[in-house]
Amino acid sequence: MTAVSTAERRHGLGSRLAALARIVELGQGRLDPALVTDAAQLLLRAGDRLKLSSDHTVVALAGGTGSGKSSLFNAVSGLELSPIGVRRPTTARTHACVWGIDGAGPLLDWLQIQWRHRFARASALDKGESQLHGLILLDLPDHDSIRALTDHEAHRLIQTADLIVWVLDPQKYADASVHRRYVTELTGHDAVTVFVLNQSDRLTPEEQAECVADLEDLLRREGVADPRVVATSATTGKGVDSLKAVLAESVAARRAAYQRLEADLDRLVLRLVKDVPELLRVESTVDGARRAGLAEALCDAVGVSALGEALENVHAVRSADWVGWPYARWAARLRPDPLKSLRLGGVKDDIRGLVASSVTAQPAEVDNAVQALADGLTAGMPEVWRDGVREAARSRVDELPEALSEELAEVAPPLDRVPVWWWLLKIWQYLLVLMFVASLAWAGAILAYGVFKAGRPPAEVLGDVAVLPWVGLMMISVLGLGLFSAMASRNFVVLAAGKERDRLERDMRRRVGVLAQNMVVEPVERELNRYNEYFGAMAAARR
Amino acid sequence: MAQHPESPGEQTIAFRPIRDDEPAPELTSPHSGPGGRPSAGSAGFAVDATEAEPSHEDVPEAEDDPVRPAGPGRALQDAVAEETDGGPAAGDGEQDAPDADDSADAEGPADPSADPEDDPEGAEDADEHAEPAENPEHSTEHAEGTERAEHTERAEGTEHAADELDGDNPDGDELDGDRAGSFAMPEPVSAALTEALNQLRTAVKGLHFGLDVPGSDEARKAQAAVLAQLDDYVIPRVHMSTAPALIAVAGSTGAGKSTIVNSLAGGRVSATGVRRPTTSTPLIVCHPDNREWYARGDLLGGVERLAEPTRDATPDSVVLTSSPSLPRGIALLDTPDIDSVVEEHHEIAHRMLDAADLWVFVTTASRYADAPSWSLLRRAKERGARLVIVLSRVPPRSREVVVKHFGRMLHEYGLGEVERFVINETSVRDGRLPEIEIADLRMWLSALSVDDERRDAAVKATLNGVLNSFRTRLPALARHLETQVALRADLRSDVDAAYMGALARIDEATRDGSLLRGEVLARWQDFAGSGDLMRTLRLRRGGKGHSQGPERVRGLRAAVRAGLEALVNSAVQQATEEAVARWRQRAGAGDRLAATPGLGRPAEEIARRTTRTIAAWQDHVTELIRTEGVTKRSVAKLISFDVDSLSLIFMIGLLGYGATDAPAGAGAGALPQRLLRGLLGAESLRNISAKARSDLRARVGLLFDEETLRYVDVLDSAGIPDEAAATRLYQATYNLEVAR
């Protein structure tokens, strides 16, 4: 560990823990629930521990039954505090010995050490143990006996203590119960883990050396980079001082609690990284191309261009009824109608009713459009977040078709709308027809009175044969004028319809874009932000 | 296995202990040629081979059945003689049973002659064993010829047995290879039992746990354990219960197993040391005379024998060594630990224990409360193994307290009756304890070696216990397989349900008119409103009768296809997600399988296939209209119509206005129907509609089936649990019970 001041460390740890809290918050429902639980527990524990006395270092003597935890506890404390025995398992409750009682009470409460098992070396100074001031030594029950199967006190305190001293002995040092369950799990905790090979008096010096070497080897294989192994003998007292020295060092540094939490945090972050490996930053906004793509797809779902086309075509066709040359219309009526002959006259009304109907969106296509957006955005994202984005994109997809229909119904004109100028043109056409009829009558009168002398013309003009060519000319020009204005107005209709169509499509596209933004893009962007924030927090937690 | 007095009507399995240390009395079976041995050998079936030495045991049991003295010559196989009750009565195809009886009779007279010779030892044995009495029945003597025919099939097995016998003959003189096979003798072990065991083995082997559900790892281990135990122990042991007993020394690392084995063997046969774990390859130590027998390996048949431990020994190997200090007839098996960091050791140890006749459980004063130790004791209890417990490394000072406490714990655990030895903590020299510490243990071993009855009882008890344990272990396996089968069915039905749901959604969407929206509607309006609809109908006398709006027809057709495609694609997407989500909710296996890459989204080519499907359907509908849409006569006279357009109108009518609720307005709902009804007639329209609809359904269903296949493939890749395997296993278990 580098020499960083406690305050700095605390600061670093604090911000990392804050980041972890953020991760827990953001990762809810995205991460493995067990991981979230563990993280929440770590946060809780860290919060508690950091609030409590930082002057004390909680050191736990852990190990299997019969390894001599209690003997070692007594040897270190110099008192017969914890009962030792030959029956296995001996210790059932945790015993604690405190060097320097001030402020240790709440810490012991938090550790749930029973009152009657607390001992204090309050005035230890007189014994020349000032260097141990601030030590809280715990003698844990074993973790590997049949009793431990139902009692998790040892497990709990191993997870909680600042510094763990694993008490091993020549018989049990390679037990799976220690190594598999704890040592491999505590990789990275080198700074807050000490291994003691107790009962070393049972071995010859050569055997002891072999044993220690083998143990160190084993520990290294399990990922403990730099194992601290101390050979002790609680019975002869050998090595106890070395252990005390190790403890004193940790206690004096007042860092074990932070180191422990940091190590726990490191481990948790490793697991988090493993759970959601790719630290890929994504754009937190949906780029223009995708937005346009979405809007385009939604327009297709509504059928905007088809609507425009229909508008144009239908207008063009319908306009014939209004602005067309009436004679052509009348001539067409004379042609036999297949529907009539089938007695299916109602179909025409149906068609008329059909074109009056409004705009709607196809739900399946809306679905697919939204899906395509989500898929495009999330390529390369971790699976869980991909699901998250997809869900966000779909959050309002059920309302979307309805909303689209409502929104667009406002702008889309009914296909059977009749502009005023159609009326005017129609009147104009009928006027022309009237004029034609009038001229026809005039010509008839001239023929009758002027040519066949059928009688006395009621008026001069009606009998003047010389006018006849003029009247004929007028008739032709009236017909021609009608035809010409029909053709011209038809062009106008087509032009207007084209314009109308452009306006309509533009308007619809704009509205679809707004809806897409509100109902799809925004939730997606929120999720993307969450994603980025999560990985930001991850980076912060990683330090 | 129940040891009943052998009444012909009962099934019994008799064990015959061997006493190697005593000179084998010469028992001549009357039928056999000169001298017992030859006769023995003559039974090509191991049957007789043994008797020569063990013969004393064969001595007729006066008590049980004076009439049938144990034939002097019976083979090991008789050892486990199994007479199906049916023998005569049931006679379920087991030829042995009758034979056995016959043979017994046959021997009857013969025995007396043999007896006198045996008497001295025989007497003792007789007391000890009721069972041996049966052995006589299979006795070799009985008509060799007759039996032969029947047993030929089993000949192979028997020879095998014969080999074993030879192996364990300490004297070796009887082992004349030639004897084996010279006569076809009745197979002493009930064919039914052998058959049942083989059947069981096949059944267990046939189990396949492909899906990772909770407990499947355990099940796989249990399966391997049962299989190994059958091969290593049960099947060979059933054929030769008189063979030397194998005593496994098991316990925690550092408990001193190897030290005890060394001490008993009187030499440094197994490595000891302060390194933990010390022993990694199991070791068999036996008397030199038995060595060959163990080397041959019927017990632990699948395990390689090594002369000495090597670094790269596979887990399937055992070191075989011998020491004259061990009594004959037993062998010690030094096992790896059960609780060190080296997990492979635990498995090896358990396998070795499964093959042992007796367990010597070694623990120490500081370990006796360890959880792994007690789980081993539990295992011994479950397996019904004969057990002795050695509490080692007890500090003399606290000996009394510790021993008492341990005793109480054992008592509470129901193991109070188990024989216990205590070894004080002393200095170990040369890997050995001082002789005085292990004197008790050695005495016990010698007694076991000398006392056939005791050893026999122990061996039998363990074998019995193992067979008893099958009653629970095998059904547990079968149950697990059933869970797997059920889970697979569940996973399968998850997928089906998801896609059925999708199909239902499509069905609904094509009925409620929701398809007639968006582009389809707009195009339809365009088509109808622009007069193209009318133009498709032409009066006959009017002329050509070809529509002029191919552009709009094409547009509408494409819109209909796109709408349907979108519908299908969206349904597939939803179904895919639903299927995966359902799988995720299934514990273990489903979750793992759901993570298979690509399963969470529709297949890549699904869009293309959907297009093809829909296009094909459209073509089909056009064809239908062309062939079946025969217009009413009255209409046909007047009107011709364009088939493409008409089929389009038909599709719109079918999909867009399926139900009463037409979104496009009340009047519009009727349009295509009215038109079509007018053209085709109501009856014809209904027919075509039904056909077209069911065709669409079938095509989409086919598409979905292809999608479902992806899931089935994933499921299959995890292995297909065989439903019949569970049944077979139950059956085999039952058969075993019957055969016993």
Predicted confidence (pLDDT) per residue in B78-119, tens digit: 433 343 333 343 334 434 434 444 444 444 344 444 344 444
Candidates A408, A304, A298; CA nearest to A363 is: A298
Of A222, A346, A354, the CB nearest to B525: A354
Strands B304-306 and B317-322: parallel
Query: Distance from first CA to last CA of chain A, Å, rounded?
Result: 14
Domain ranges of chain A: 1-52+261-275, 55-253, 288-542
Contact B209, B216 (CB under 8 A): yes
**Whether B372 and A177 lie within 8 Å, measured CB to CB:** yes
Of A357, A362, A401, the CB nearest to B665: A357
C-alpha distances in angstroms, A498 versus A315, A494, A501?
Answer: 10, 6, 5
Query: Distance from first CA to last CA of chain B, Å, rounded?
Result: 6
What amino acid occupies position B247? I
Q: Has residue B493 been placed in a domain? A: no
Report the pLDDT value the prediction gives residue A330, as an integer from 0 to 100: 86
Contacts of A242 (CB under 8 A, 6+ apart): A230, A232
The SS3 of residue A59 is strand
Q: Has residue B119 been placed in a domain? A: yes
**Whether B529 and A318 lie within 8 Å, measured CB to CB:** yes
Of B374, B509, B671, the CB nearest to A350: B671
Contact B462, B384 (CB under 8 A): yes
Strands B283-286 and B358-364: unpaired
Contacts of B228 (CB under 8 A, 6+ apart): B302, B351, B354, B355
Cα B205–chain centre separation: 5
Nearest C-alpha of chain B: how many angstroms from A147? 8
pLDDT in tens, B389-424: 999 888 888 888 889 999 999 998 888 888 899 998
Sign of the torsion angle spanned by Cα atoms B363, B365, B368, B373: negative
Nearest CA in chain A to B273: A207
Residues from chain A that touch B667, judged by Cβ atoms under 8 A, are 349-350, 353-354
Reading the block at residue B726, the tokens are 């569970």
Q: What DSSP character marks residue A60?
A: E
Confidence class of residue B498 from pLDDT cuts 50, 70 and 90?
very high
d(CA B261, CA B362): 11
* Full strand arrangement of the beta sheet holding B304-306: B304-306, B317-322, B283-286, B330-334, B245-251, B358-364, B386-394, B419-424
Q: Has residue B71 been placed in a domain? A: yes
Of B340, B525, B537, the CB nearest to A310: B525
Nearest C-alpha of chain A: how many angstroms from B643? 16
A287 to chain B, any CB pair closer than 8 A? The answer is no
Bridge-partner residues for B429, per DSSP? B432
- C-beta atoms surrounding B682 within 10 Å: 11
Q: What DSSP character marks residue B319?
A: E
A149 to chain B, any CB pair closer than 8 A? The answer is yes
Nearest C-alpha of chain B: how many angstroms from A178? 8
Nearest CA in chain A to B408: A87
What amino acid occupies position B599? L
Cα-Cα-Cα-Cα dihedral of B164, B167, B172, B176, to 10°? 50
Of B343, B401, B509, the CB nearest to A87: B401
Average pLDDT over residues B130-145: 41
Radius of gyration of chain A (CA): 47
Domain range enclosing B353 = 243-450
pLDDT in tens, B615-630: 999 999 988 888 877 6
- C-beta atoms surrounding B551 within 10 Å: 10
d(CA B140, CA B102): 11
Strands B537-539 and B639-641: antiparallel
Angle at B374 between CA B371 and CA B377, to 5 degrees: 160
Residues from chain A that touch B276, judged by Cβ atoms under 8 A, are 170-175, 214
Nearest C-alpha of chain A: how many angstroms from B71? 52
A383 to chain B, any CB pair closer than 8 A? The answer is yes
Cα B154–chain centre separation: 25
Reading the block at residue B331, the tokens are 């062998």
Q: Has residue B348 been placed in a domain? A: yes
**Whether A350 and B275 lie within 8 Å, measured CB to CB:** no
Report the pLDDT value the prediction gives residue B233, as an integer from 0 to 100: 85
Report the pLDDT value the prediction gives residue B737, as an integer from 0 to 100: 85
What amino acid occupies position A450? G
A91 to chain B, any CB pair closer than 8 A? The answer is no
Cα B395–chain centre separation: 46
d(CA B155, CA B158): 5
Report the pLDDT value the prediction gives residue B277, as an integer from 0 to 100: 85
**Whether B668 and A210 lie within 8 Å, measured CB to CB:** no
Bridge-partner residues for B330, per DSSP? B245
Structurally, at CATH architecture level, domain A55-253 sits in 3-Layer(aba) Sandwich (3.40)
A332 to chain B, any CB pair closer than 8 A? The answer is no
Per-position b or e across A141-176, b if 16+ CB within 10 A of its CB? bbbbbbbbeebebbbebbbbbbbbbbbbbbbbbbbb
Residues from chain A that touch B638, judged by Cβ atoms under 8 A, are 338, 341-342
Nearest CA in chain B to A146: B371
Bridge-partner residues for B91, per DSSP? none
**Whether A360 and B405 lie within 8 Å, measured CB to CB:** no
Strands B419-424 and B330-334: unpaired
d(CA B201, CA B193): 12
Q: Has residue B387 been placed in a domain? A: yes
Higher pLDDT, B285 or B5: B285
Candidates B103, B288, B283, B79; CA nearest to B165 is: B79
Report the pLDDT value the prediction gives residue B76, as an integer from 0 to 100: 38
A379 to chain B, any CB pair closer than 8 A? The answer is no
Nearest CA in chain A to B581: A387
Nearest C-alpha of chain B: how many angstroms from A470? 40
Count of the separate structural domains present in chain B: 3
Of A169, A174, A314, the CB nearest to B530: A314
On average, the pLDDT of chain B sits at 72
A288 to chain B, any CB pair closer than 8 A? The answer is no
**Whether A65 and B370 lie within 8 Å, measured CB to CB:** yes
Of A169, A306, A341, the CB nearest to B522: A306
Per-position b or e across A39-59, b if 16+ CB within 10 A of its CB? beebbebbeebeebbbebbbb
d(CA A305, CA A83): 89
Candidates B499, B482, B495; CA nearest to B713 is: B495
Q: Which of B257, B367, B427 to mutate to test the interface with A (most CBs of A within 10 A)?
A: B367
Reading the block at residue B411, the tokens are 């008592």
Q: Which of B340, B424, B526, B547 to mutate to test the interface with A (most CBs of A within 10 A)?
A: B526
Q: Which of B515, B519, B553, B676 to mutate to test the interface with A (most CBs of A within 10 A)?
A: B519
Of A67, A310, A347, the CB nearest to B526: A310
Burial class (CB in 10 A: 0-12, 13-18, 19+), B113: middle
**Mind listing the pLDDT tens digit of every residue in chain A (543 residues)?**
344 445 445 558 888 889 889 888 888 877 888 888 999 999 999 999 888 888 889 999 998 888 888 888 888 888 888 888 888 888 888 889 888 878 888 888 998 888 888 888 755 444 556 778 888 999 999 888 888 777 888 889 998 899 999 999 888 888 888 888 888 887 788 888 999 999 888 888 888 898 999 999 989 888 888 888 999 988 888 888 899 888 888 888 888 888 888 888 888 888 888 876 665 667 777 888 888 999 999 888 888 888 888 888 887 777 877 888 888 888 877 776 666 666 666 667 777 666 666 677 888 888 889 988 888 888 777 777 788 888 888 888 888 888 888 888 887 776 677 788 888 888 988 998 999 999 898 888 888 888 787 777 777 777 788 888 888 898 899 889 888 988 888 888 888 888 888 988 898 889 999 999 999 999 999 988 888 888 888 888 876
- To the nearest whole percent, how much of chain B has pLDDT over 90? 9
Nearest CA in chain A to B344: A176
Report the pLDDT value the prediction gives residue A275, as an integer from 0 to 100: 72
Contacts of B697 (CB under 8 A, 6+ apart): B503, B507
pLDDT in tens, B46-65: 333 333 344 344 444 434 44
The reply to whether B256 and B141 lie within a common domain is no
Cα-Cα-Cα-Cα dihedral of B252, B256, B262, B265, to 10°? -70
A365 to chain B, any CB pair closer than 8 A? The answer is yes
A89 to chain B, any CB pair closer than 8 A? The answer is yes
The reply to whether B147 and B259 lie within a common domain is no
Q: Has residue B27 been placed in a domain? A: no
B660: left (phi over 0), alpha (psi -120 to 50) or beta: alpha
- C-beta atoms surrounding A336 within 10 Å: 10
The reply to whether B515 and B664 lie within a common domain is yes
CATH classification at residue B297: 3.40.50.300
Q: Has residue B28 been placed in a domain? A: no
Residues from chain A that touch B542, judged by Cβ atoms under 8 A, are 336, 338
**Whether A342 and B635 lie within 8 Å, measured CB to CB:** yes
- C-beta atoms surrounding A204 within 10 Å: 11
Higher pLDDT, A88 or B140: A88
d(CA B260, CA B444): 14
pLDDT in tens, B340-388: 888 888 888 888 888 888 899 999 888 888 888 899 998 888 888 888 9
The reply to whether B657 and B519 lie within a common domain is yes
Q: Has residue B473 been placed in a domain? A: no
Cα A147–chain centre separation: 45
Tell me the pTM: 0.71
